[in-house]
Amino acid sequence: MPIVTAQDLIEAGWPPGPQFPALLAALRGYEERGISDPAYLMKLLERNFERPDPKLTPREASLPFSEAIEATCDRDEKNLESVRRAMDQLLRTPVIEGGAVMPDACPAGAGEAVIPVGGAITVRNAILPAAHSADICCSMYATVFRCDQNTGEMLDSLMASTRFGFGGRKTEDRHHHPVLEESVWSNPFLKGLEEHAAMHLADQGDGNHFAYLGKLRLNRGLIDALDQAGHDDIARKLNDAAGGSKSLDDTDGATFYTLVTHHGSRGLGAQVYQRGHKAALKETDRIARGIPKAAAWLDTESEIGRDYWDALQYVSRWTRANHQSIHARFLERSGARRVTEFGNEHNFVWNRGDHFLHGKGATPAWKDDAGRPLLGLIPLNMAEPILVTLGRDNAEFLSFAPHGAGRNQSRTATLREFRKANKETDDKAIARAIAKSTRGLDIRWYYGRGDLTESPIGYKSAAQVRGQIEQFELADIVAEVTPLGCIMAGDSGPAPWMKKREQELTPKQKRQIVHRSDRRKLRQHLSHWEGSDDEENDQ
């Protein structure tokens, strides 16, 4: 046990920062020379190191960051300028040591130092809650299966198995999972949140979250790629289900249905984030000044930082259980037989050594502790294939890949293009545009009304994003899940608490709440929003 610890240094007024490793190394050197008096050790430090300003401040200039993205039109360029501006502000934060932006990068908000969607940073011994955002552990999960139902019947089963929209499941409709029984609730960031955890299982929220039904084509190349990458268990199950080498050596290979879900940690994660960010603001204010709110951090070597890290790990387990619950309900209803399953997070914090990698809509694409390239799922839009990837561990871009296609303009700007001369929304034109962009697919909107901003029209070019994954060597695309149909929340109308206030709204406000982006602003104004979806859904 060291005589003087990192926490002792912090309490003595040495703020965490770039100088900290040198301070700790010097202390260990003094101790190895037989110096054991804590007061004398501190005196030696003060003699040999200049004590910095007790308050950390932002860097005068931003650290450089890498760009795995290339603008191909004026709209791309305008979007990228906004992304660069946000990253420039964020990378002035003293605990951040590097950053990168992915091909799907787009702004996530107008505040100072708000990490963009498709942004990634590496931070030494600290976690920035705002850099993983309110929808902690927003993630992908796939189940490959066999089923005797047709596409329409499977989507009927899926509609009955999942849930989208406000609130959570009613008591009589809840799904139980062992993750609810873990002894984690004494953690200060989880205390009292048992009800949030219970009510949101098998619950997907709204915004860009989806349940996607598609087909995965297996061939010898895919099985070999998985096997060579060390994912031999998945390779074996797929190989066995396909009947072995004979069918896989055929040109067309074998085809299996695949369910892919996309969602995060719902109300549970939102509450943990709010508590974490509040604690980070308090801790950062104690040791630093001039730090934007979105860049506040928790020291991972402090007790509160360790508690937050432990809470994040539980939220990760809960979110995976949430995916698994939806998939299990679907398999049971449809009579389907599971072949294999896998998934990945893209809104989270990952620990590699003394660095904490933060991704805001960025897919981990490094090698795990066993040396295996991580297996990833990258959706592009509901009418395009979902890419199955193996990470290239490209350190130039912090070993991340994109999490999707991203947007070149806000939801509001997209909807503005479908207004009539009188400024009212042209619902018929929107319906035609959605139908045209999803022709041949069974698209379901949980609340009946389509959401233009979640159709392919709302996203960047899928071909462009896919091309830049390959151009910047972020990941190897080893397979595709081609679409059959998709379920999204769609437009659920005003939230229940807003319906009670409708009589207080002006005619103009009533027109505005027709669209989800405008409803969000009003919810925030009314201070009743649960906060279950992340900033990614605003863009």
Indicate whether 119 belongs to any domain.
no
Report the 3 state secondary structure along 304-364: HHHHHHHHHHHHHHHHHHHHHHHHHHHHHHHCCEEEEEEEEECEEEEEECCEEEEEECEEE
358 within domain boundaries? yes
Is position 359 within any domain? yes
**Contact in structure between 201 and 322 (CB atoms under 8 Å):** yes
pLDDT tens, 317-344?
999 999 999 999 999 999 999 999 999 9
State whether 416 and 526 are in the same domain.
Answer: yes
> Interior CA angle at 310 toward 308 and 315, to 5°?
90
Given pLDDT bands bounded at 50, 70 and 90, which one contains residue 539? very low
Per-residue pLDDT averaged across 162-180, rounded?
94
pLDDT tier, 526 (very low <50, low <70, confident <90, very high otherwise) = very low
Residues 348 and 476 in one domain: yes
Q: Which DSSP letter does residue 53 get?
A: P
Residue with the bigger pLDDT between 226 and 537: it is 226
Task: State whether 168 and 26 are in the same domain.
Answer: no
Q: State the maximum Cα–Cα separation within the chain, in Å, rounded to a whole number.
A: 83
pLDDT of residue 214: 98
Do 11 and 151 sit in the same domain of this protein? Answer: no
Name which of 17, 6, 21, 19 is nearest 95 in CA terms.
17
Question: What is the model's pLDDT at position 402?
Answer: 98
- 517 versus 232: the higher-pLDDT residue is 232
Query: Does 325 fall in a domain?
Result: yes
Q: Please give the tally of structural domains in the chain.
A: 2
The residue among 189, 204, 211, 184 whose CA lies nearest residue 317 is 184
Rounded to whole angstroms, how far apart are CA atoms 57 and 241?
58
Question: Is residue 24 domain-shared with residue 146, that is, in the same domain?
Answer: no
pLDDT tier at 53 (50, 70, 90 boundaries)? low
pLDDT exceeds 70 at position 249: no
What CATH code is carried by the domain that includes residue 397?
Answer: 3.90.1860.10
Is residue 379 in a domain? yes
Q: Which of 3-7, 17-21, 201-205, 376-380 has the lowest mean pLDDT?
A: 17-21
Report DSSP state, residue 165. Answer: S
Which tokens go with 8?
């002792």
Query: How many angstroms separate the CA atoms of 38 and 376, rounded?
Result: 49
Domain identity same for 353 and 248: yes
Rounded mean pLDDT of 45-49? 89
Three-state SS across 253-301?
A: CEEEEEEEEEECCHHHHHHHHHHHHHHHHHHHHHHECCCCHHHCCEECC
Residue 505 lies in a domain: yes
Are 38 and 147 members of one domain?
no
> Residues 290, 430: one domain?
yes
Task: Put residue 361 in one of left, alpha, beta given phi > 0 → left and psi -120 to 50 → alpha.
Answer: left
246, 511 contact by CB (below 8 A): no
Q: Read off the pLDDT band of 55 (50, 70, 90).
A: confident
Are 143 and 254 contained in the same domain?
yes
Domain co-membership, 398 together with 260: yes
Q: Is residue 407 scored above 60 in pLDDT? A: yes
Report helix, strand or coil for 66.
Answer: strand
Residue 94 forms part of a structural domain:
no
Q: What is the pLDDT of residue 528?
A: 29
State yes or no: pLDDT of 537 exceeds 70. Answer: no
Strand order of the β-sheet with 96-106 is: 66-67, 96-106, 117-124, 355-360, 347-352
- Clarify whether residues 163 and 19 are in a common domain: no
Predicted local distance difference test score (pLDDT) of residue 17: 73
Q: Which of 438, 362, 374, 410 has its CA nearest to residue 521?
A: 410
129: in domain: no
What is the pLDDT, as a whole number, of residue 436?
96
Pick 413 or 401 by higher pLDDT.
401
Question: For 72-117, how does the pLDDT look when each residue is reduced to its tens digit (9 = 90+)?
Answer: 999 999 999 999 999 999 999 999 999 999 999 999 988 999 999 9
> What domain range includes position 232?
139-537
pLDDT value, residue 490: 92
Among the listed residues 424, 428, 429, the one whose alpha carbon sits nearest the alpha carbon of residue 512? 424
**Rounded mean pLDDT of the chain?**
90
pLDDT tens per residue, range 346-402:
999 999 988 999 999 999 999 999 999 999 999 999 999 999 999 999 999 999 999
pLDDT (average), residues 172-179: 95
Same domain, 35 and 152: no
CA dihedral 108, 110, 114, 119 (to 10 degrees): 40
pLDDT at 159 over 90: yes
| 330 phi and psi angles, rounded to 5 deg | -65, -45
Q: Which residue has the higher pLDDT, 8 or 231?
A: 231
**Residue 535: per-residue pLDDT:** 40
Distance CA 56, CA 319 (A): 35
Range in 29-33, 132-136, 272-276, 507-511 the model is least confident about: 507-511
pLDDT of residue 484: 98
